[in-house]
């Protein structure tokens, strides 16, 4: 089976199981439109199949050094290309996703929903437009303005940051220290779906769309190839 086909099947399986689970949740939300603004329930106690306990999120600034992931050009002799921050910052819409909450369209959506607070202060918006981990998981350099930052996808870096910089640990050891397995298609699909389809904690999609939110469409290609900071990796010359 081809690479794309396998990813497509994963996508179908995960989406269908999600959709089956959604109607009940959507209904229960009907009565309490603002329930999303309540403090976050602890995802780990609610459903331990969703996410393992997260680590402290150190913030994008902790990944952005020019010797780390902020290289101006892709490195040729490194296991990773190291310009991931540069690409994310310049070209990846995830880095602008918080800023969007400040625009007029966002204000209108929030008004239509009757949110008591502006979008950038509303949990319902922040859950998808930023790395909205609880305050207790935000390190000193963490900045909510960074939007969907590295750790929103790669997991809180508190335990893996040091070891992974040392270069002396295996990928498996990094995973054991909290790095999210983005390379695994199922796990990656779950990660993207959280915000691009919605999940148990972010399920108000039909409601926000009624309020003027753009349609959220998610396709196979988005899962597998669009992630912008992989672009340069694909462009590296064949060796």
3-state SS, residue 79: coil
Decide if 215 contacts 198 (C-beta within 8 A): no
d(CA 239, CA 159) in angstroms, rounded, equals: 34
Task: Tell me the closest approach of the beta carbon of residue 54 to ligand HEC, in angstroms.
Answer: 13
Give 57's strand partners: 138
Task: Tell me the closest approach of the beta carbon of residue 134 to ligand HEC, in angstroms.
Answer: 14
Asked if residue 227 binds ligand HEC (CB under 6 A), the reply is yes
| Binding to ligand HEC in span 166-225, by CB under 6 A | 182-183, 188, 191-192, 194-196, 198, 202, 204-205, 208, 213-214, 216-217, 222-223
Torsion on CA atoms 107, 18, 157, 96, rounded to nearest 10 = -30
Asked if residue 55 binds ligand HEC (CB under 6 A), the reply is no
Nearer to ligand HEC, 105 or 140 (CB): 105
Decide if 141 contacts 61 (C-beta within 8 A): yes
Task: Tell me the closest approach of the beta carbon of residue 213 to ligand HEC, in angstroms.
Answer: 5
3-state SS, residue 28: helix
| Binding to ligand HEC in span 66-125, by CB under 6 A | 69, 80-81, 84-85, 88, 93-94, 96-97, 100-101, 105-106, 109-110, 113, 119, 122, 124-125
d(CA 36, CA 155) in angstroms, rounded, equals: 23
The string over 181-191, giving b where at least 16 C-beta atoms fall within 10 Å of a residue's C-beta and e elsewhere, is beeebeebbbb
Residue 146: phi and psi, rounded to 5, are -70, -10
Which of 205, 202, 204, 150 lies closest to 178 in space, CA to CA? 150
Task: Tell me the closest approach of the beta carbon of residue 11 to ligand HEC, in angstroms.
Answer: 11
| Binding to ligand HEC in span 128-167, by CB under 6 A | 128-129, 148-150, 152-154
Positions that interact with ligand HEC (CB under 6 A): 60, 63, 69, 80-81, 84-85, 88, 93-94, 96-97, 100-101, 105-106, 109-110, 113, 119, 122, 124-125, 127-129, 148-150, 152-154, 182-183, 188, 191-192, 194-196, 198, 202, 204-205, 208, 213-214, 216-217, 222-223, 226-227, 229-230, 233
């Amino acid at each position: 089976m081809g690479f794309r086909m396998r990813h497509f099947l994963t996508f179908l399986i995960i989406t269908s199981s999600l959709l089956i689970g959604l109607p009940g949740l959507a209904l229960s939300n009907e009565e309490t439109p603002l329930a999303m603004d309540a403090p976050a329930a602890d995802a780990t106690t609610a459903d331990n199949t969703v996410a393992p306990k997260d680590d402290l999120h150190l913030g994008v600034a902790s990944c952005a050094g020019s010797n780390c992931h902020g290289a101006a050009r892709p490195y040729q002799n490194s296991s990773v290309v190291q310009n991931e921050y540069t690409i994310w910052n310049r070209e990846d819409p995830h880095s602008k996703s918080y800023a969007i909450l400040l625009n007029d369209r966002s204000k209108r959506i929030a008004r239509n929903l009757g949110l008591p607070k502006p979008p950038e202060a509303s949990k319902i918006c922040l859950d998808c437009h930023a790395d909205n981990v609880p305050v207790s998981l935000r390190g000193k350099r963490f900045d909510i303005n960074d939007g969907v930052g590295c750790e929103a996808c790669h997991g809180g870096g508190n335990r893996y940051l040091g070891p992974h910089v040392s270069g002396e640990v295996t990928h498996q050891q990094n995973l054991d220290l909290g790095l999210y397995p983005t390379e695994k298609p199922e796990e990656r699909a779950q990660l993207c779906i959280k915000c691009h389809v919605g999940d148990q904690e972010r399920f108000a999609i039909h409601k926000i769309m009624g309020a003027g939110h753009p349609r959220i469409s998610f396709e196979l290609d988005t899962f597998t190839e669009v992630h912008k900071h992989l672009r340069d990796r694909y462009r590296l010359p064949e060796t």
